[in-house]
Structure 1
Amino acid sequence: MQDLRTVLSSDTIIIGDGAIGTMLQSRGLVAGTMPEAWNSERPEDMLAVHRAYLEAGANYLTTNTFGANRIRMREGGLGSDVAGTVERAVALARQVAEGQAWVAGSVGPTGRLMQPLGDLSLAEAEDVYAEQIEALIAAGVDLIVVETHHDVEEAGAAVRMARQLGNLPVFASFAFNPRGRTMMGLKAADAAVAMEALGVSAVGANCGDGPEAVAKALEQMHGATDLPLLARSNAGIPQLGKDAVTLWDIEAAAMAQHAQRFVSLGARIVGGCCGTGPSHVAAIRAALL
């Protein structure tokens, strides 16, 4: 693989993969079960998901470590072996990538609110993220993706730890509503400025309220930073269908059209989030490259 920082310094479009959690749910993961459990319980399914995204044309594969921090793992019944969980996840992604794609270490929020609204102190957040990110780096990821965040202080804690513990590129991504704000009221432009100051390699929007929310965030970020922008939208807003099956209403062709719009708004890294799959990634790649 080319050096990621070199690629980021060019005008090259980078294709990300799509959802992990909803893909595993389609393979039988029970709602409420942490996806990270399947790194050890159903590794063949995790390999199949990574392989499908590689075959669809993704340039990087995201590790199944979104919730692999000690707070979420304890609450989700996975114990406290963060290093072991992370090591297994990275090994699975690397086994599939085999020099054909970068491996991105996923770092999601802890699920707790930062002080003063909640009980999570900055020191504890940094300690929690340091444990997870140190394990990701030791296991051999090519970059760190701090994703689906809502609070600039919590995301900042993760980014700082990634920057202090290693020399890997760091992407930071937030979940926005259609007004370009996170659930904590953080504006997209302010998020971009804050993350650029911390030295990230790219900043953007993922998950949230779907393509329109991602587009609004990109519009605001584009005027606030010169960093490469990232866009990974959900496949719409989920609906509960027959037999309690979750349905997503944006098909691959429509997602490809949204991807073209994202690029027109400055996105250089484009993939999918919840509800997207290999067909969405393949359509995005065909539309952009």
Structure 2
Amino acid sequence: MSNALTDLLAEKGYLLADGATGTNLFNMGLMSGDAPEMWNVEEPEKIIKLYRGAVDSGSDLFLTNSFGANASRLKLHGAQDRVHELARVSAELAREVADTAGRKVIVAGSVGPTGDIMEPVGTLSHAAAVEMFHEAADGLKTGGVDIGWLETISAPEEYKAAAEGFARAGLPWCGTMSFDTAGRTMMGVTSEGMVDMVEGLDDGPLAFGANCGTGASDLLRTVLGFASKNPALPIISKGNAGIPKYKDGHIHYDGTPELMGKYAVMARDCGATIIGGCCGTMPEHLVAMRAALDSQPKGPAPTLEEIVSVLGPFSSDSDGTGDGGAPKRERRGGRRRG
């Protein structure tokens, strides 16, 4: 199915996505505990600055400020009745930036987890989850996004509910999960398991992958796990800018622009074709990633040892699959986002 994302990916071969949302907004004055989505209407000039930061740094695709725009999240701020409005406005601001970029830029409507645990472990029903995702997706579509972008999901049940919500809204989408527990998502999904899941969906994504999680090394090991299954869909890699460090009352990420440039090239070599950053990734990181991707040709998939030597050690010995070893490959070659 042809759409803006698949057409641009076919034209360019790989795409640079954006970086962090939260990190950048905190640097603009957002306070911990505040809902970033409220800034779409209260501080629109700052949201436009966030979007333009990604576009001016060379991103081919950027996400809207709508990660927590669902009834469950916004209820914490007394704004559960404003989901559609806040999602729509986030998209309208993004559309303005993309349409004045002077080149083709994809607007992706960010959709994060509900924050509730789904049945049978929790109390959130499938029907209620589908409606939450549908409401967000419809607002984003009304505001003009090119695609939806599900991210930081850990439960397969929630991923599937989101797929149904996007389908009801008639919005094509991409979706990533966060592999942050010894190579698995918090709810136990492995890289191989995710491939099986997305390929079995009736209303599946245009592309899939991993975001956030722990360090960039772990995320690339997950990408290798995806690639080992030879999936038909494009792979997304959105890793954090290094490892979080607590300093002077704030979280800082230790990844330098140079390191993120190396990460971007290695992500492409691992098999990803949509490559960006997550927590801690600033415009200067994106500039370095753009330069590295544009100046270096695609190479063979790196070994695990090569990933460690360039990006640092894994956070766990296991990638979450098999008996605890590396992804089996026939050949060489991740509350709030960012």
Smaller-chain TM-score range? Answer: over 0.9
Report Cα offsets for 1:225-247 as digits up to 9, x if no partner: 121100011112322112x1221
Is the CA contact 1:238–1:249 (under 8 Å) kept in the aligned structure 2? yes
Superposition map of 1:111-260 within 5 A: 111-168=115-172, 170-177=173-180, 179-198=182-201, 199-224=204-229, 225-242=231-248, 244-260=249-265
How far 1:166 sits from its partner (Å)? 1.2
Change (3 A) 1:181 1:11: farther
Q: How many residues align?
A: 286
| Higher Rg | 2
Instruction: Name the aligned partner's letter for residue 251 of structure 2.
Output: T
Distance 1:283 1:175 in 2: 24
Distance 1:140 1:33 in 2: 26
Instruction: Name the aligned partner's letter for residue 224 of structure 2.
Output: E
TM-score normalised by L of structure 2: 0.81
Q: Percent identity?
A: 37
Report Cα offsets for 1:99-125 as digits up to 9, x if no partner: 631110001000111112211111111
Q: 1:104 aligns with which of 108, 114, 117?
A: 108
Structure 1 range deviating more: 59-68 or 8-17: 8-17
Q: Which runs of 5+ in 1 are unaligned?
A: none
Instruction: Name the aligned partner's letter for residue 162 of structure 1.
Output: F
Superposition map of 1:275-286 within 5 A: 275-286=280-291
How far 1:73 sits from its partner (Å)? 0.5
Change (3 A) 1:11 1:54: closer
Is the CA contact 1:8–1:228 (under 8 Å) kept in the aligned structure 2? no
Instruction: Name the aligned partner's letter for residue 138 of structure 1.
Output: T
Is the CA contact 2:137–2:171 (under 8 Å) kept in the aligned structure 1? no
1:8 aligns with 2:12: no
Structure 1 range deviating more: 17-26 or 231-240: 231-240
Is the CA contact 2:90–2:140 (under 8 Å) kept in the aligned structure 1? no
Q: What residue in structure 2 maps to residue 68 of structure 1? A: 69
Q: Does the residue aligned with 1:113 lie in a helix, a strand or coil?
A: coil
Is the CA contact 1:178–1:213 (under 8 Å) kept in the aligned structure 2? no
1:77 aligns with 2:78: yes
How far 1:280 sits from its partner (Å)? 1.0
Q: Which runs of 5+ in 2 are unaligned?
A: 295-338
Instruction: Name the aligned partner's letter for residue 255 of structure 1.
Output: M
Instruction: Name the aligned partner's letter for residue 6 of structure 2.
Output: R
Instruction: Name the aligned partner's letter for residue 211 of structure 1.
Output: A
Change (3 A) 1:193 1:212: same
Distance 2:185 2:131 in 1: 24
How far 1:9 sits from its partner (Å)? 4.2
Is the CA contact 2:141–2:171 (under 8 Å) kept in the aligned structure 1? no
Structure 1 range deviating more: 131-140 or 143-152: 131-140
> How large is the Cα RMSD of the aligned pairs?
1.6
Q: Does the residue aligned with 2:130 lie in a helix, a strand or coil?
A: helix
How far 1:167 sits from its partner (Å)? 4.8
